[in-house]
Amino acid sequence: MTKERSAREDSPDVGHGNIGEIEDIGGKQTCFRGEEIAPLRKGLLRWYDRNHRELPWRINPHSQLKKTDLSDATDTVQEVPSKKRQKQGGKRVAPQEGPAGVPDTVLKESVLELAKAEGVENRAYAVWVSEVMCQQTRVVVVMDYFRKWMEKWPTVGELAQATQEEVIQVWAGLGYYRRARFLLEGAKYIMSTLGGRFPSTVPELLKVPGIGAYTAGAIASIAFDVRAPVVDGNVVRVLSRLRAISGDPTEKGNVKVHWSLAEQLVDAIRPGCFNQALMELGAMVCTPTSPDCSGCPVSGHCQALKLAESGIGGPVTEFPGKKVKKAPREETVAVCVVELRKGEKPGRSVEASPEYLLIQRPKTGLLAGLWEFPTVSVASKASKSVRRSALDSLLARLLPGGYETSERHEVGEYVHVFSHVRQTMLIERLVITEMKSGQNGKGVKRQREGVGGELEDESEGSTPQTRWVPEEEMTSVGLTSGVKKVLDMARKSRALTTQKS
């Protein structure tokens, strides 16, 4: 242990803010004792260096893993270890030591020094993208998306030049599309307001659109070696169990406690690795329902486990307390999949692949700015005639010149659940073979040629922007999973109709 590390670990209160002001919750100690901090940090970092997952965005100069080809990392990433789980919290078994002969030392160079070799600001950008993608999404899902994103926009400057549609197209399938829009908005801010300089401190990072306390702490600590805490769901679970903190973790007082605990623990020499270790422990060992307490490197400091072993408390899985969730809002919409079979283009026949009419959602709110089929809100028990009347009113605004109808069929019902909305889609399919003059009328923006064409100016009014997209180009638009499901149902309905005829 270096003198520098020893000095910093012997002063655990440096930078801990108002930890001394935190009140105990339920009579339990909600801060770490000074003598606990150094061994807790050491044990967690040692475990991390020997057990961390290999991820495309991760750099650990202290890693004691064998080098592997990161292109195959998807095969090595697991949500939790495969060994037997301890579900109820029983006797503690000493954690397994690392590979024989591996010295219990760390390399001298810091994460920052390694990052500088590849460009510290590019490193910060990669950390930013990965952290945003991993919010609300499993790591195994994120990996391919991260690679595709970085291949298309390897720097923040290149991302800043992208359009929202391009960004959504690459993001499609990850969900929570606000994250993608915030990445784009943040990149534009960094380039236009900061002159391309990536902010390196938490206060600076918090000024970037879409970057909150967690993301700011992750970027600052991992990319710039700043001693800053992070608190996500995994960290909350680990800290709640270490200190036996019950209650709703999203309650204001508990949020303050968890951030203060994280700030108290974060390592001064390796803040980025420590933060990743804390999150990794929650993802791999201290899992929600099946924690591997016998394999936990910090189980000796776990108050929840002590309560379980003594018989005073229940299993460690009682911590953290259950988050109070609101029931999702119920919403019913009528959706019309409009197929153009014969339109303005010379030579197009009824047998040719159709073009689909898409509209753009409002710039704010749920799925802001994304493309969907013409959709209107209706009452949950609205009759077929009421739904069609509502859709006809919308189509009259979208296609003011009128159209010739060939077919109109009911397709079915599909329920899509968002984080706070349970949306029931009542779907129909409308086939038109002719659009009359005036279709590009006032209030409508129409895509001229497929996905990449120019858009006409939008006049005032609430009529959404529209576009016609050939069937073979629908995969390039960046449709949400819900819209893709509607399209799939419409195609199956078309196939059945064709068979019957």
Strands of 24-89 (E only): list them. none
Q: Does residue 352 sit in the same domain as residue 444?
A: yes
CATH at residue 338? 3.90.79.10
Residue 342: how many other CB atoms lie within 10 Å: 18
Q: What's the gap between Cα 169 and its chain centre?
A: 15
H helix and E strand count, the chain: 17, 7
| pLDDT (0 to 100) of residue 499 | 73
The yes-or-no answer on residue 331 being catalytic is: no
Q: Does residue 24 sit in the same domain as residue 123?
A: no
What pTM was computed for the model? 0.76
Last residue of a domain, one of 224, 240, 262: 224
Cα 433 from Cα 339, distance rounded (Å): 8
Cα 47 from Cα 49, distance rounded (Å): 6
**What's the mean per-residue pLDDT of the chain?**
81
The answer to whether residue 106 is domain-embedded is no
The answer to whether residue 339 is domain-embedded is yes
- Percent helix, strand, coil in the chain (nearest 5)? 45, 10, 45
Average pLDDT (240-268) is 95
Mind listing the pLDDT tens digit for each residue in 277-330? 999 999 999 999 999 999 999 999 999 999 999 999 999 999 999 887 888 899
Long-range own/partner contacts, residues 411-415 (CB < 8 A, 24 or more apart): 411/337, 411/489, 411/490, 411/493, 412/489, 412/493, 414/482, 414/485, 414/486, 414/489
| pLDDT (0 to 100) of residue 29 | 62
CA dihedral over 220, 223, 227, 233, signed as positive or negative: positive
Q: Does residue 259 sit in the same domain as residue 275?
A: yes
CATH at residue 160? 1.10.340.30
Q: Does residue 339 sit in the same domain as residue 319?
A: no
Asked if 372 and 483 count as a contact pair (C-beta separation under 8 A), the reply is yes
Residue 87: how many other CB atoms lie within 10 Å: 14
The answer to whether residue 487 is domain-embedded is yes
State yes or no: pLDDT of 271 exceeds 60.
yes
The answer to whether residue 76 is domain-embedded is no
Q: Which of 16-25, 171-180, 273-282 has the lowest mean pLDDT?
A: 16-25
Domain that holds residue 290: 1-67+231-324
Active-site hit among 54, 121, 131, 355: 131
Domain count, the chain: 3
**Which three-class secondary structure string do you get for 218-244?**
HHHHHHHCCCCCCCCHHHHHHHHHHHC
Residue 22's pLDDT band, with cuts at 50, 70 and 90, is very low
Last residue of a domain, one of 173, 205, 224: 224
Q: Does residue 390 sit in the same domain as residue 443?
A: yes
Q: Does residue 356 sit in the same domain as residue 294?
A: no
Q: Does residue 280 sit in the same domain as residue 352?
A: no
CATH at residue 235? 1.10.1670.10
Percent of the chain with pLDDT over 90: 63
Residue 88: how many other CB atoms lie within 10 Å: 12
Q: What phi and psi, each to the nearest 5 degrees, are found at residue 93? A: -115, 140
Mind listing the pLDDT tens digit for each residue in 38-51? 999 999 999 999 99
Asked if 210 and 185 count as a contact pair (C-beta separation under 8 A), the reply is yes
**Exposed, middle or buried: residue 46 (CB in 10 Å: 0-12, 13-18, 19+)?**
buried
Q: Does residue 46 sit in the same domain as residue 181?
A: no
CA dihedral over 198, 204, 207, 211, signed as positive or negative: positive
Q: Does residue 237 sit in the same domain as residue 219?
A: no
Percent of the chain with pLDDT over 70: 76
Mind listing the pLDDT tens digit for each residue in 451-499? 333 233 333 447 899 999 999 999 888 888 899 999 999 999 988 887 7
The answer to whether residue 78 is domain-embedded is no
Residue 301: how many other CB atoms lie within 10 Å: 20
CA dihedral over 78, 82, 86, 91, signed as positive or negative: negative
Cα 49 from Cα 26, distance rounded (Å): 35
The answer to whether residue 491 is domain-embedded is yes
Contacts of residue 86, Cβ cutoff 8 Å, sequence gap at least 6: 290, 291, 292, 293, 294
Q: Does residue 212 sit in the same domain as residue 243?
A: no
The answer to whether residue 87 is domain-embedded is no
Cα 33 from Cα 243, distance rounded (Å): 11
**Exposed, middle or buried: residue 415 (CB in 10 Å: 0-12, 13-18, 19+)?**
exposed
Average pLDDT (185-209) is 98
403 forms bridges with which residues in the sheet?
435
Q: Does residue 12 sit in the same domain as residue 116?
A: no
Last residue of a domain, one of 198, 224, 250: 224
Rg (CA), the chain: 27
State yes or no: pLDDT of 14 exceeds 70.
no
Cα 440 from Cα 400, distance rounded (Å): 8
Question: What one-character DSSP code corresponds to residue 474?
Answer: G
Q: Is 248 left (phi over 0), alpha (psi -120 to 50) or beta?
A: beta
Q: Does residue 369 sit in the same domain as residue 480?
A: yes
The answer to whether residue 272 is domain-embedded is yes
Contacts of residue 69, Cβ cutoff 8 Å, sequence gap at least 6: none
